[in-house]
Each structure stands twice: as C-alpha cells, then as structure tokens.
C-alpha cells in the first residue's frame, strides 16, 4: 500500500533536518569528516605510500597482536583452494625459505581440536595480518602500546 504523499514529504523533511542538525553538532565539536570536497565534486586522489618492509620486522604493541607483515604480499593470492602464504609459512616449507611457521594457535579449531593443517578460522591471513606504510594517521589519536601504559 502506498503511503500518502504528505507523510512521505514530512518524513523526508524530518530526516533532512536531522542530517543538517548532526553535521552542525559535529562542526561545533571540531569533528571533521575525512572528505573535504563537497559531495558533487571529485575528491583529490589520496597520497600513495610505499609499503614499509623493515628487514628486522615490526615490534608488537601488545602481547596478543597479530604480527604485521614485513614483506610485500601483492602477488600472494588466498583463494578457497590455494593459500600462497602457506607455501612459505607452513611446516616444513617454512624451513626452506627461513620464514617463521604460523603460530601453533593457528592449528587449533573452534572446538579446541589440534589439526595437522591450518584451521578454517585462520585461513584468511589478511583478516588479521596486514602490511604497513609509514603514513600519517588519518585521525589523530593518543594510542600507547602495552609497555608504555604500564
Ligand atoms: C616467499 C615466501 C613467503 C610468502 C609467500 C609469504 N611470506 Fe610471510 N614471511 C616470509 C619470510 C622469509 C618472513 C621473515 C621476515 C622477512 O624475511 O621478511 C616472513 C614474515 C612474515 C610475518 C611476520 C612474522 C613475525 O613474527 O613477525 C607475517 C605476519 C607474514 N610473513 C605473513 C604473511 C602472509 C599473510 C602471507 C600471504 C599473504 C605471507 N606472509 C606470504 C616469507 C613469505
Ligand atoms: C584470526 C586472526 C588471525 C588469522 C586469520 C591468522 N593469524 Fe597469524 N597470528 C595471529 C595472532 C593473534 C598471532 C600472535 C599470537 C599467536 O601466536 O597466536 C599470530 C601469529 C602469527 C605468526 C607468528 C608466529 C610466531 O611464532 O611468532 C605468523 C608467521 C602468522 N601468524 C602467520 C599467519 C598466516 C600465514 C596466516 C594465514 C594462513 C595467519 N597467520 C592467519 C592472528 C591471526
């Protein structure tokens, strides 16, 4: 059943007022959107950053942190029938290329059973492990790592 037109118009007006209201509040509090350009204009392309690949790897900010990836991963595809990361990070292949073996926790399934292959819950590596670039944070923050807050 179609809604009467005047109700639709009232709803549209209400949501427009709410949108304007919240953007005014956001401005008052000094909050800025990531997009500077008006919505009907093209935004400038974001800066390109070179991936950081420190030979000594990255430090961890807290004990349970998935380690960051210290090498390029552009060519390593992860699909349902092939996981290129595992060529180097599963035992015994890892010993040939001197890569760290995936953590023992990655061979344990949701029920706590130990498996001889990577658990499905850990299959898509880049859900947790990511490359890094030495880029300015998009939004300022006061993050301190676990050793700094002690
Ligand atoms: C050609 C072999 C190779 C492939 C493929 C590969 N890696 Fe690596 N990876 C390494 C080596 C070797 C290291 C040790 C550091 C180094 O030499 O860069 C490493 C280090 C890492 C580390 C850091 C571990 C730590 O304890 O700091 C992570 C995380 C990682 N790789 C994730 C991945 C993921 C995710 C993929 C797939 C997208 C992948 N790697 C594919 C060889 C590989
Ligand atoms: C659900 C998140 C998650 C996924 C998915 C995942 N990891 Fe991890 N990984 C972690 C965490 C957290 C750690 C550090 C704590 C630990 O050892 O469990 C870790 C540790 C590692 C380490 C370091 C091991 C060590 O002994 O220092 C390597 C290498 C690694 N992962 C590779 C991989 C690869 C390759 C994949 C994909 C097959 C993968 N991980 C998938 C979260 C994940």
Over the stretch 39-77, which tens digit does the pLDDT of each residue have?
Answer: 899 988 888 899 999 989 899 999 999 999 999 999 999
pTM over 0.85: no
> For residue 87, which atom of ligand 1 is closest to its CA?
5
The confidence score (pLDDT) of residue 121 equals 96
- Does residue 87 have its Cβ closer than 6 Å to ligand 2? no
Residue 31 Cα to ligand 1 midpoint, Å, equals 38
Residue located via tokens 């998935």? 66
Candidates 3.90.650.10, 3.40.50.200, 1.10.1130.10, 3.40.47.10; correct CATH number of 49-133?
1.10.1130.10
Percentage above 90 pLDDT, the chain: 59
Question: Residue 11: which pLDDT band, with cuts at 50, 70 and 90?
Answer: low
């Amino acid at each position: 059943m179609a809604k009467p037109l005047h109700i639709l118009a009232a709803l549209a007006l209400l949501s427009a007022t709410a949108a304007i209201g919240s953007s005014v509040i956001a401005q008052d509090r000094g909050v800025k959107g990531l997009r500077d350009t008006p919505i009907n204009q093209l935004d400038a392309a974001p800066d390109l950053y070179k991936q950081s690949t420190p030979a000594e790897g990255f430090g961890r900010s807290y004990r349970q942190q998935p380690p960051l990836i210290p090498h390029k991963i552009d060519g390593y595809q992860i699909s349902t029938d092939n996981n290129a990361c595992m060529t180097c990070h599963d035992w015994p292949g890892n010993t040939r290329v001197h890569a760290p073996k995936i953590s023992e926790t990655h061979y344990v399934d949701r029920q706590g059973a130990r498996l001889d292959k990577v658990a499905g819950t850990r299959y898509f590596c880049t859900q947790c492990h990511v490359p890094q670039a030495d880029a300015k944070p998009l939004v300022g923050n006061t993050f301190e790592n676990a050793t700094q807050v002690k």
